[in-house]
Every structure is written in structure tokens, then in C-alpha cells.
Structure 1
Amino acid sequence: MNKFTFPSGPLLGLLVYGLLVQIDAFPPLAAAVAALSVWMALWWMTEPVPLELTALLPMIVLPLIGLYPAKSAMMDSCAPYANESVYFFLGGFGLGLAIEKTMLHRIGALFLLRWAGSNASRVVGAFMLSSALLSMWINNTATTMLMLPLAISVIATTDHPNFSKSILIGIAYAASIGGMGTLVGTAPNIYFSGFLREKGMEIGFWNWMLLAMPIVAVLLIGCWIWMVVILWPMKGLSITVPSQWSDEWKSTRSLDWQQRTTLIVFAVAAACWILRTPILELLENTSWYARLSPANDAWIAMTALASLLIFPLGKPVLEWKDVDRIPWGVLLLFGGGLSLSNAISKSGLDQQIGIAAVGLQGIPVWILLTIVVLLVVAISEMASNVATATTMIPILMGASSAMQVDPIVILSATVLASSCGFMMPVATPPNTLVFAQKKFPVKDMLIAGFGVNLLAILAIPPAVLWILPKVLTK
């Protein structure tokens, strides 16, 4: 525990409260919620206590400050912890566990590596593509852990340092980049989806993919070019693929029942997520709309998880001991962030943030978005992506009206940028995992990450401004 930041969180919160209540037009409740926000933001960024414990602070503090009626204060404070986005993550992570348990991820990776052949640059590209595709459906930490054994076995066949660091750093970066591509791919995306629903807005699974996938493609290709063409070229380097991979590939030609079940459930769930919005739009004026509209993304995710716990009958893909591996603490992070955002809205703090940001009126939207993305990318180098998102999204929601920017535009850019911590080994768990292999010095990750960060800062604002309006009209 950090002995300095532990007390500084509540002390800084008290200081903020004391300063804000001196302002005549500033509501005392808004000042109290601002103090709680500062306290949580500092603890989330410095981690003197576990992130999950910080996420419980709204449950502890909000019932005591008079924000909600006394009889329902605890219930109102706790309700966001059962938000549907919590179950969206729960079901999605269970689906990822099934893919991992049945080794479908390895089959897919071996297929791409067979395509890559022995060319070192293509092998790095195949690993990055495998990592990105996996992390669209499995969290980035699990993706990196699944890909590392394959990478290490390939690295053992050559002593070329450029290949070693390219493949390891490439896997970590691709895991973070790929997660941006779907709403279930990473925790900030799921939090963002739940936050929008709390505010009466929504962006569908398919709509998000239409926005995010071009950005993912640009970052992934740009990252590969930056590393294997510019930074660490490997011209003429040939890689010897481990012989056991050929035998393993031959043995996977016929899938067992558990693998088939997982593949079917995954395909159906993905199709439902992607096609749900277009189908509902077609059925809008029919009786089927009222019947099917409650079947949202969270319902699809939980139905998929239940199916994997039931089928095949007698020997289901997942047992309850497998579900125990779900990072339950992340569910508290979602709940804590949503509870805080509700308090910011109910207390009027969002309006006060808007008043404070009124000086930003008149600044071109693309400049504002670039500044926001730059700020969020910088924060994500020091704090986890979900902590960055849960801290920044409620603040920027309040400021968006003063900036005269569509809140979905600024929040979409924010949530995408929160997954772009590429420079520091501690910025993301994937970075930490590959750095722990001790195959490259920290300066290599700093240089590689700087280039990818710069690409993200240049790519996200124009992509959001150009693609999102088209996506939201579909």
C-alpha cells in the first residue's frame, strides 16, 4: 500500500469540497460528489488499494451525503452494480473461457502461422493478427497469456533480437488494439455501453464495429510497419517453425463435441450481437419488435454463457469451477463507475462541469477531440484502461454540452483512446507480461509505444468525426 497516496485521496477530496462550497452558485451536493470523484480518481490512478475496493466507495459514501431519499439511499447507490453491462461482461468473458478451454484459440493461431510460412516479418504479422482477433472476444490479458507460449517456442528457434522484441511487443500491442474492435472486447467498451444506456442513449454492437474496426485496422497495420519495417527490420530472416506444430495442426482437423458446441454458440452469439440492431430496425413496425427488443447484448451474452454451462448434455463445455476464473472484481469496477456517473448527474455536478467548460465554445471540434485523445492516451500510460475510462467519461459527458459536441462523439474518442497505453511496461497487463520475458530493454517499448501512440492520436479523432455520424444513421 502506498503510504502517501492512501491518505491523500480522502484529504484531497476534503480540500476540493472545502473550496467548492465557498462558491455561492455551486450546489453542496455537487461539491460532495466532486470530492468523491477526485478521491476515486486519485486512488484509481495510484492504486494504494485494489481498484475494486476503490469502486466500492460510491456504495459507502453516497448513502451518507443526502443525495438520495433516506429510505432508498442504499438501494439507489447500489443499483448500478447490477447494471446490464455487468452481465454483458460476465457472459462475454464466459464465452472467452470456453474458447480458451477448448483450445479453439490455438487452432486459429496455428492456421494463421501456417499461412505465414517461414518469413520472419509475416510470422510477426500472423502473431499480431491472431492476438487482435482473439482479443475482440477475450480480454487482452488472457489473450496475451494464451499467445505467449506459442511465441516463446518460435523465439527459441532463432537468436535474432529484432525478431524476439517484434513478436513479443507486437502481441501485447495487438491484444490492446484488437479489444477496441467490439463492445465485448475490453472493459472500457463495456462500461461505455452501460454508461450510454444509463443516459438514455445506445450504440449497437454492429454500429460500434463499423466505427472501431477501421481504427483497429489502421493501428494494427501501422504498428506492424513501424516495428518490422522501420524500427527493427528483419530482411531475409527465415524462421524454423517447431515441428510439433505440424503434428498438432493435423490432429485438430476433426473437432470434438465440446469444440463444435463452443464454435456454434460463439458464432450464434456473434451473429446476434452484430445483426440485432439491423433486424430490430426491419421489425420496428411489427408485433415482433416488442417481443425481441428486450433481448439486448447482455441477454445474448448471458444466454450464450448458460448454453455453455448446459451443452453438450452430460459433459458441458464449462463447469462452475471454470466460471470461478472470471475476474469478478472487474464487475465491481463497472458498478462503481456507473454509480459515480449517476451521482454526478443527479447532484448537478455535470452542469457545473459544463459551466466551467463554457470557455471551450468556438474551438473547432477536431482540435477538441485531438486534445481529449492526447490527454486520455497520456493518462492511460499511468492508469489502467478501465480506470481511465470510468474517470474521464463522466467528466467529459458534463463538458460536452459546453463544448457543443455530440456526447457520443467525444465519449467514443475517449473510450478508444483509453486502450492506447503502449509506451510503459506498467501501462497494461499485456505490456507487463511481455516485458517480464526479459527479451528487450524498456527503451525499446518506449520507442515502439511512442510511435503507436502518435498514430492513435492522429487516427482516432478524424475517424470518429467522419465515421460515427454515418454509423449512427444506419
Structure 2
Amino acid sequence: MNRHRIGLILGPVLFCLLYFFPSITDLGDAPRAVLAVTAWVAVWWITEPIPIAATSLLPLFLLPLSGGTEESTATMAYADPIVFMYMGGFTIALAIEKWNLHKRIAMHIISIIGTSSNRIILGVGIATAGLSMWISNAATALMMLPIALALIKEVKEKNFFDDKSFHSFSKGLLLTVAYSASIGGLATLIGSVPNAALAGVANRMLDVNITFANWFMFGFPVSIVMLIALYFYITKIQFPVADTKNISSDFAHSQLRGLGKMSKEEKLILAVFSCTAGLWIFGGFLPFELTDTTISMIGATSLFLIPSFSEKGGLMRWEDMKNLPWGLLLLFGGGLSLAAAFEDSDLTSWFGEILTNLQAFPYLIIIILLSAMVLFMTEIMSNTAVSNMLMPISIGLASGIGVEPYGIMAAVALTSSLAFMLPISTPPNAAVFSADYLEIDDMIKAGFWLNILGIIVVVLAVYFLQPLVFSF
């Protein structure tokens, strides 16, 4: 029996056990119902007997039917502002992809940084991470993979390296695409699903508004440190290349020539993107209030208003929205619905009481253990599922040990995005593994030590930087 069939049965069974046998938890009716629904949804998120997005619809009817919370509480979470902020960001990302602006940006970065093997890897890493700050890591990896494969093909055809160096270069370049796509997403609220989940849960359960700028001040330094560490680890330790010749300096320029002159549409989209990103980061200095969601919606809507010069209608047309990841928006809604029910039923306090035993451990040890647990869970589970399950519980953990919840929540958000060991861990890992230049051992060996490094960086950031940034 495969995991899908096991999960299909196990989810409802756990629900029935927790819901119909109160002695198991000694909880009241409402919190017991929320716990039972959470168990069902969590099992189906993990085992995927139906699509994850479809599973995310379960709280809509299970919570009110079981008495966990009112229907209005369960349903309103699907229209949370963070959902619409992400929708706007996705729309802008679709426009960038539609008009091929992402490839122009990547090629400009590569042409500026240089064309030795290490500089190529650095340039691809910076381009990938930079795009992943604003575009989903899966989409970024898929955008950058053809560029990386073209560079590998160029190296192979021109015989720049011996066999050993060629394999090191090709493996290092592909893993840089995968890993930097995940690392770049740490920097912004829209770059990674767990980051947005943190902001949404904080708003729902703690009545705290973590803005784009708040997270950027915390996440961007973490992303930079991880990207620097990735570059030196890949090029100096795991896949060093003995450079004999530089890769053709004309490669990036020939790619740019193939793209032609920057179109009016690209310039307009770049302007919209720049204004939106600028307002997200510096909007707090304006004399009037602009929320991140409002900024996102203004940017996205403007793409439909600004006319295109080469096709009828605006820069974006509604038919372009068929590529929007609607399922991911439902995932946000499902996670936030459970979080709202946790708060409404006071289930969080129950978790807090259970976890008071952890008070015996120093806060630093708790962060280390939590980060390691979450990271290795994410190796075999969706980071969305992990963050949606653990974010509300992390608030209970913080309450139980008597600390502010933001550090624990940040540790969950960051480490659930840093799975590097397996092709199934993240979409970028799967994308580059499909190129046939990598073996599973390459990813496991490189990814294991990057996982360890990720835990160290996250723990230090949470322990020292987070209290300075999240001072609510």
C-alpha cells in the first residue's frame, strides 16, 4: 500500500480518534475539534492522496461542521490580506516571464561579473537569488535552468576543461541554480511561502503586522550570508574547477543580442516592478499609510491598465492569469484558516502547557533543535505543509517556555525553505536533477553540509538579529 492510500485512510481515522474520544486529550469541544481537523489536514498535506490545494479546502467545511469555529472565521482566512499580497506578486512575476525580462536581467548580471568558471557560477547564483526574491523558487529555477544548460553546452563544445573539471563545473552550476533559488526566497515576504505564512499567522493570532520592510531587514542579511557561503562551498570545497581558459566572453552578449533591443513592454514592466519593490521596502517613510497588500494590488492592476505596444490590450491580459498558481493561494487560505481556529478555540494555550517542559532547556538549544527538526522534515515534506502545521504550534511553544514567539516562528519559516539534500525536497532541486548531469549522491553530499550550515546561520540570525528587527 503506497503512502497516498495510507494517508487517505489515516487522516479521517485520526480525526475520528481525536474527535470522538475526548479522554485522549482532555480538551473541550471546540479545541478538540480544531486539533482533529488539523490532524486530518496535516496527514493529507504530507501524503497527498488528493492535491495539496484541494486538501487546503477541508478547513472550510470541517471546522464549522465539527464545532471548531464559526464558518465566518474559517472562511475569512482565505481572503486574508497576505493572500492578496501574494496574488499581486505572482501577477508581476508572470508579466516579467511573459515579456522575457528575467532572461535579460540574468544575462546582464553574467556579462558584468565575468566569464571564468567561478565567476559564471557567481553570476548565475546572484541572478537566480535576485529573481527568487520576487518570483517563486520553482519558477526561478525553471527560468534559469535553460541558461545554465546553455553554458554547460558551450563549455563542452569548446573543450574548455578536462573531464574532471567539466563535471565539477556542470554539477556546481546546476546545484547553484537549485540552491540559490531557495536561498534568494528567504529575503522577502513574497519570495517564499513560509515567510508569507509567518506574516499571515502573526497577523491572525498575535494581531501584529509584519511588513515587507520588517522581514526584508531580517531575511535579506540571512540570504546574503547563505549565498556567499554557497558560492565558496561549491567552488572551493565541493566542486572546484582547475581553470585553464575563460569561457567565451561573448556568451552573455550573444544571448542579449538574440533578445534584441529592450522592448517598450519590458521597460514598462521594469518600471512597475521597481516602483512596487521600492514601495514595499520604503513605503513606511511616506506621509500616508500604504499596506503591502495595497502596494501589491496597485502594481498588479496597473499591468492591466498600461497598454501594450505589440499586442491588443494591456501588458497583462486576463488569459495570462491562467498561469497564476491559484492552488498556492488556497494553501495560504487553508493554513491561515487553521491558525484562526487555533486562536479562536484557544488550542494554542493547550500546546503551550504541553511544551512548558522545554523551559528546562536554554532558548538557544531550543532554537537549534527546532531548526534541525524542521529542516530535515522539509527534506521529505512540502515546506508549505511544514510551515502551515508548525507556525501556530510555534506560538504555543513560545508561550510554554515564556519567550516572544517571533524568533521561533522565524526559525520555522527560514529552515523550512532550506532543504538541499534530495531531488524531492524542493521544486528547484527536482528541476536541476532532471537535467541528467547530477547523481543523487552529488545532491546528498553537497546538500547535507549546506543543511548544517543553514542551521548555523538561521540560529545565529534568530538569536542575535531577530530581536533587533522585530521589536513590536
TM-score class, shorter-chain normalisation, is over 0.9
| Pairwise CA RMSD | 1.9
* Correspondence for 1:166: 172
Structure-2-length-normalised TM-score:
0.92
- Report how far residue 19 of structure 1 moved: 5.3
- Report how far residue 74 of structure 1 moved: 2.9
Q: Secondary structure at the match of 2:435?
A: coil
Q: Does structure 2 conserve the Cα–Cα contact (< 8 Å) formed by 1:258 and 1:316? A: no
- Report how far residue 247 of structure 1 moved: 3.5
For residues 273-327 of structure 1, the C-alpha deviation after alignment (integer angstroms, 9 at most, x for no partner) is 0012243xxx4xxxxxxxx33x311111111011011103664211111112101
* Correspondence for 1:240: 247
* Correspondence for 1:191: 197
Change (3 A) 1:384 1:130: same
Q: 1:334 aligns with which of 310, 332, 335?
A: 332
Q: 1:265 aligns with which of 267, 272, 286?
A: 272
Q: Does structure 1 conserve the Cα–Cα contact (< 8 Å) formed by 2:29 and 2:68? A: no
Q: Does structure 2 conserve the Cα–Cα contact (< 8 Å) formed by 1:112 and 1:126? A: yes
For residue 200 of structure 2, what is the amino acid of its counterpart? G
Counterpart CA distance in 1 for 2:441 and 2:193 is 28
Counterpart CA distance in 1 for 2:25 and 2:331 is 32
* Correspondence for 2:102: 105
Change (3 A) 1:333 1:237: farther
Q: 1:300 aligns with which of 295, 304, 316?
A: 295
* Correspondence for 2:5: 3
Q: Does structure 2 conserve the Cα–Cα contact (< 8 Å) formed by 1:158 and 1:239? A: no
Q: How does 1:1-400 map to 2 (within 5 A)?
A: 2-18=4-20, 20-24=22-26, 26-68=27-69, 73-159=70-156, 160-199=166-205, 200-241=207-248, 245-250=252-257, 254-279=261-286, 283=287, 292-293=288-289, 295-312=290-307, 315-400=313-398
Change (3 A) 1:18 1:64: closer
Counterpart CA distance in 2 for 1:183 and 1:4 is 34
Which stretch of structure 1 is more off in the superposition, 299-308 or 241-250? 241-250
Counterpart CA distance in 2 for 1:247 and 1:420 is 34
Q: Secondary structure at the match of 2:154?
A: coil
* Correspondence for 2:162: none
Q: Does structure 1 conserve the Cα–Cα contact (< 8 Å) formed by 2:33 and 2:63? A: no
Change (3 A) 1:404 1:7: same
Amino-acid identity (%): 34
Q: Does structure 1 conserve the Cα–Cα contact (< 8 Å) formed by 2:204 and 2:339? A: no
For residue 153 of structure 1, what is the amino acid of its counterpart? A
Counterpart CA distance in 2 for 1:22 and 1:240 is 65
Q: 2:399 aligns with which of 398, 401, 412?
A: 401
Q: Secondary structure at the match of 2:218?
A: helix
Counterpart CA distance in 1 for 2:19 and 2:403 is 29
* Correspondence for 2:163: none
Q: Does structure 2 conserve the Cα–Cα contact (< 8 Å) formed by 1:226 and 1:451? A: no
* Correspondence for 2:160: none
- Report how far residue 36 of structure 1 moved: 1.3
Q: Secondary structure at the match of 1:424?
A: coil
Q: Does structure 2 conserve the Cα–Cα contact (< 8 Å) formed by 1:154 and 1:241? A: no
- Report how far residue 28 of structure 1 moved: 2.5
Counterpart CA distance in 2 for 1:252 and 1:52 is 36
Counterpart CA distance in 2 for 1:238 and 1:307 is 47
Listed as ranges, the gaps of 5+ residues in structure 2 are: 157-165
For residue 17 of structure 2, what is the amino acid of its counterpart? L
Q: Secondary structure at the match of 1:439?
A: coil
Q: Does structure 1 conserve the Cα–Cα contact (< 8 Å) formed by 2:18 and 2:25? A: no
For residue 113 of structure 1, what is the amino acid of its counterpart? I
For residue 85 of structure 2, what is the amino acid of its counterpart? F
- Report how far residue 231 of structure 1 moved: 1.1
- Report how far residue 250 of structure 1 moved: 4.5
Structure-1-length-normalised TM-score:
0.92
Counterpart CA distance in 1 for 2:294 and 2:285 is 17
- Report how far residue 18 of structure 1 moved: 4.9
Count of residues in Structure 1 that have an aligned counterpart in Structure 2: 457
* Correspondence for 2:412: 414
Q: Does structure 2 conserve the Cα–Cα contact (< 8 Å) formed by 1:27 and 1:348? A: no
Change (3 A) 1:368 1:106: same
